[in-house]
Chains A and B, each alone.
Chain A
Amino acid sequence: AQRVTQPEKLLSVFKGAPVELKCNYSYSGSPELFWYVQYSRQRLQLLLRHISRESIKGFTADLNKGETSFHLKKPFAQEEDSAMYYCALLRAGGTSYGKLTFGQGTILTVHP
């Protein structure tokens, strides 16, 4: 079975500092990885999808199959980045029916 681990429940940084939210996964096949963000008491929004290789709101994430990681990075954190971040995995294949496996989430707080 697949698993997603976000080792940090809480992460605090100061504005302008670099930030890295860690995500490790275990899955024997070729997964698709996502980062979702949830601002205070709002719905989850898709932030990044690894196959898109985009930079959204200054965030990037690279899939490292050797280390089975998909860490989220931003060089200069902003106060508006404060939110809950979830890493999620989608199994390959039609029988996954789009089901996501989520990590436990990391609450990022960016201090002024």
Chain B
Amino acid sequence: NAGVTQTPKFRVLKTGQSMTLLCAQDMNHEYMYWYRQDPGMGLRLIHYSVGEGTTAKGEVPDGYNVSRLKKQNFLLGLESAAPSQTSVYFCAGSFRGQPQHFGDGTRLSIL
């Protein structure tokens, strides 16, 4: 039982490149979330999903897209990376009414 697993753990991109971050969970979580963590800003919600095939915008969705084609996977995409998207990205999952379980994070640097 791995819990919530994020891939990759580190990545360096050039401005304008695209990439996809993968979040996989084996806890059968109904809800899944993507956050970014920046110094002094706490964690801010980018997008979330309340079930397979559904996604919704969070607090800071611009520049990101997500998909949840399978219940266990939640993908975060950057179509054209910008330096302002340099951050640590965390994925989390939860059941209704229960606390969120987090992945280890992905450190993304955009040059």
- B-chain residues with CB within 8 Å of residue A49 when the two chains form the complex: 99
**9-residue interface stretch from B14-22, B41-49, B65-73:** B41-49
* A102 lies within 8 A of B31 (CB): no
- B-chain residues with CB within 8 Å of residue A105 when the two chains form the complex: 42
- Size of chain B's interface in residues, with CB distance under 8 A? 26
Number of contacts between A and B (CB, 8 Å)?
A: 51
B26 at the interface (CB under 8 A from A): no
* B90 lies within 8 A of A43 (CB): yes
A99 at the interface (CB under 8 A from B): yes
Q: Residues 27-58 of chain A: 1 if any B CB is under 8 Å from the residue's CB, otherwise 0?
A: 00000001010000111111001000000000
- B-chain residues with CB within 8 Å of residue A103 when the two chains form the complex: 42
From the candidates A42, A46, A86, A102, name the one contacting B99 in the complex (CB within 8 A): A46
Q: Residues 85-112 of chain A: 1 if any B CB is under 8 Å from the residue's CB, otherwise 0?
A: 0100000001001111011110000000
* A43 lies within 8 A of B105 (CB): yes
- A-chain residues with CB within 8 Å of residue B99 when the two chains form the complex: 34, 46, 49
From the candidates B31, B40, B43, name the one contacting A97 in the complex (CB within 8 A): B31
A45 to B90, CA, bound (A): 12
- Size of chain A's interface in residues, with CB distance under 8 A? 22
A residues 1-48 near B (Cβ < 8 Å) are: 4, 6, 9, 34, 36, 41-46
- A-chain residues with CB within 8 Å of residue B86 when the two chains form the complex: none
- B-chain residues with CB within 8 Å of residue A6 when the two chains form the complex: 42
B104 at the interface (CB under 8 A from A): yes
Could you tell me the distance in whole angstroms from the C-beta of A42 to the nearest C-beta in chain B?
7
Given A43-B103, A99-B45, A102-B44, list of 15 further CB < 8 A pairs?
A42-B104, A43-B90, A43-B102, A43-B104, A44-B92, A45-B102, A49-B99, A94-B96, A97-B56, A98-B98, A98-B100, A99-B33, A102-B42, A104-B42, A105-B42
Residues of chain B whose beta carbon lies under 8 Å from any beta carbon of chain A = 4, 31, 33, 40-45, 48, 50, 56, 58, 90, 92, 94, 96-105
